[in-house]
Amino acid sequence: MSLIQIRRRSLTVETIHHEGGPPPERPLRMAAACAVVRNPYAGRYEPDLLPFMAELRSLGSLLSEELVGVLGKDRVEAYGKAAIVGINGELEHGAVWHEAGGWAMRAALGEPKAIVPASKVVASAGYRLMVPLHYIHAAYVRSHFNSIEVGVQDGPRPDEIVFALAMADGGRIHSRLGGLTPSQVKVHDGQR
């Protein structure tokens, strides 16, 4: 029997037309895909979380492909991931998403090198969490430091986890704080 049992999914797409200044040539689109799944380890300590992490790769692929389908693979410039663990679980149950969610997004996007930023929390149903985003090819591109809110109104229930992936097709609207730009990325080590 699979360790992954999905109760519900959600997809949120935000389109930002301006931030008080002139409208950009093209609006920024950010999207977040969430899945509410049963936590197979809720209410007990499990020393080996690796089987769950391995199975979560399929969920990561499903959510990644959904986001790529909405934004377009060649347009995605920023990404991030998050987990909200129900109160009968532990933070480590959400940490399994680091590898599974990050691997899935890299696979869907052609293996970008930058680390996938993340946030995680143990919380009650309806909790909202900000997912950090940054540039997919280099962590030091300031213009792409951003975030998107995720959450599900009735989840996670105490024995569930909300897993989320997020992507954006650009940096912040009106970014003007200097630093490394996407066109200056040369090293391709995921940093600069």
Residue 118 domain boundaries: 6-15+26-184
**Confidence at residue 139, expressed as pLDDT on a 0 to 100 scale:** 92
Does residue 140 lie in a domain region? Answer: yes
Q: Which alpha helices (H) appear in 97-176, and where do they start and end?
A: 97-109
pTM of the model: 0.96
How high is the pLDDT of residue 164? 98
Domain-embedded: residue 158: yes
Where residue 142 sits, what CATH number does that domain have?
3.30.1330.110
In a domain, 20, yes or no: no
Asked whether residue 190 is domain-assigned, the answer is no
**Domains of the chain: total:** 1
Phi, psi of 52 (to 5 degrees): -65, -45
Any domain includes 34 = yes
In a domain, 157, yes or no: yes
In a domain, 189, yes or no: no
Confidence at residue 192, expressed as pLDDT on a 0 to 100 scale: 81
Place of tokens 């998050």: 82
What pLDDT, on the 0 to 100 scale, is given for residue 21? 87
Q: Is 182 helix (H, G, I), strand (E, B) or coil?
A: helix
- Check if the beta carbon of residue 6 is closer than 8 Å to that of residue 59: yes
Is residue 1, in this structure, part of any structural domain at all?
A: no
| Residues sharing a CB contact under 8 Å with residue 15, sequence separation 6 or more, in sequence order | 27, 28, 29
Whole-angstrom distance, CA of residue 180 vs CA of residue 12: 29
For the chain, residues with pLDDT lower than 70 are: none
Element (H, E) at 53: helix 50-71
